[in-house]
Structure 1
Amino acid sequence: MPDHALELSFDAASEAGVVAQWEALKAAGIPSQADHRSMTNAPHLTLAAAVGIDPAVVPQAVELVAPLLPTTLRLGGLILLGHGQRITIAHLVEPDAALAEATAAIRALVPTLRHPVWTPHVTLARRVSRRLLADALDVLHATPAPRELVADRLRWWDPELDLIEDVARA
């Protein structure tokens, strides 16, 4: 069962910048998020993902995040997540203090977090074989990358209800 999640979604220009990188990887024959065709797949920043998120947490998350929208997220370098033969490639996100505090407050409300430590990132590719890693990094370095992303929505994903909706907008 997929995780429940609270995520920040991006404005059209920011989303297009990330999707261009997904597509560049795909065109080079490297696994990317462009390969994932689910309705839930769009560039995003996960604030909390868990086996279950109590729906009562959602209005509290809206109260914490809505006043911050839209928010500009500065991107750091590329990061590699995971271990073993398959790696995730992502942009590191450097949130401002207000978003970091709001996220910490939301995460404190969710006892079943998938990852207890928050590593803010925007995923570009999952399950990339280590043997393709150098090629993937070459493609990404040759593809224009956004320096910032504008988050303008808070999205709620509940796979048990097959529900994905924007619960706050800028």
Structure 2
Amino acid sequence: MPDQALELSFEPSSDAAVVAQWEALKAAGIPSQADHRSMTNAPHLTLVAAVGIAPAVVDAARDAIGPFLPARIGVRGLVLFGQGPRVTIAHLIEPDPALAAATARIRELVPTGRHPVWTPHVTLARRVPRRLLPAALEVLESTEAPVELTCDRLRWWDPSQDLIEDLATT
């Protein structure tokens, strides 16, 4: 069963800034999120992902996170995830302390979360061969990286039902 997720989505100019970096990587022949063709593929900040997220947690997230929207989050540089021959490249994100605390409360309600420790990030590219890292970093350095992103929607994604539901918007 695929993971469900609670995510923050971005307002149009923040979304466009991330997509521009996806497209720059793709144009350079480097794997990027632009290669992902799913209709659900859009820049986002995952708050929690798990095989199942109970409806009560979805409601709690709406109540806990919704009041913080729109939320401006700082972009603090690039981060790499992965230990094998391929890595994920992402922007490391620093949310407002109150938003981070609200997220921690929601994550405590999902004991089966995919990642027990939350590292807030926005993915730029997955499965990048390590040999392409210098080129990928050069491409990203040559594009205008966002300094701040604005989240304007909380969404619940349930791929088993082909459902993306906006829980809170601005």
| TM superposition score category, shorter chain reference | over 0.9
Task: Give the TM-score taking structure 2 as reference length.
Answer: 0.98
Query: Could you list the runs of 4 or more consecutive aligned residues of structure 1 that deviate by over 4 angstroms after TM superposition?
Result: none
**Where do 5+ consecutive residues of structure 1 fail to align?**
none
Cα distance, 1:52 vs structure 2? 1.1
C-alpha distance in 2 between matches for 1:27 and 1:161: 33
Deviation at 1:82, TM superposition (A): 1.0
State the secondary structure of the residue aligned to 1:83: coil
Q: Does 1:129 align with 2:129?
A: yes
Counterpart mapping for 1:133-148 below 5 A: 133-148=133-148
The Cα offsets for residues 42-74 of structure 1, whole Å up to 9 and x where unpaired, read as 000000001111122111100001110001000
Percent identity reads 72
1:78-157 correspondence to structure 2 within 5 Å: 78-157=78-157
Q: CA deviation at 1:109?
A: 0.6
1:6 alignment partner in structure 2: 6
Distance 2:86 2:55 in 1: 33
- Distance in 1 (alpha carbons) for counterparts of 2:42 and 2:132: 23
Structure 1 CA distance for aligned equivalents of residues 2 and 121 of structure 2: 19
Q: Does residue 73 of structure 1 match 2:73?
A: yes
Amino acid at match of 1:146: P
3-state SS, counterpart of residue 60 of structure 2? helix
Partner of 1:61 in structure 2? 61
TM-score scaled by length of structure 1: 0.98
CA distance in 1, matches of 2:130, 2:142: 19
Runs of at least 5 residues in structure 2 that lack an aligned partner in the other structure: none
Alignment pair present for 1:162 and 2:162: yes
How many angstroms apart in 2 are the aligned matches of 1:88 and 1:161? 27
Q: How many pairs were matched up? A: 170
Matching residue's letter, 1:7: E
**In the alignment, what sits opposite 1:30?**
30
Residue 160 of structure 1 aligns to a residue whose secondary structure is helix
SS at match of 2:118: coil
Give distance in 1, aligned partners of 2:147 and 2:166.
25
Question: How far did residue 2 of structure 1 move?
Answer: 2.7
Q: For residue 36 of structure 2, what is the amino acid of its counterpart?
A: H
Mapped partners of 1:103, 1:153: distance in 2: 14
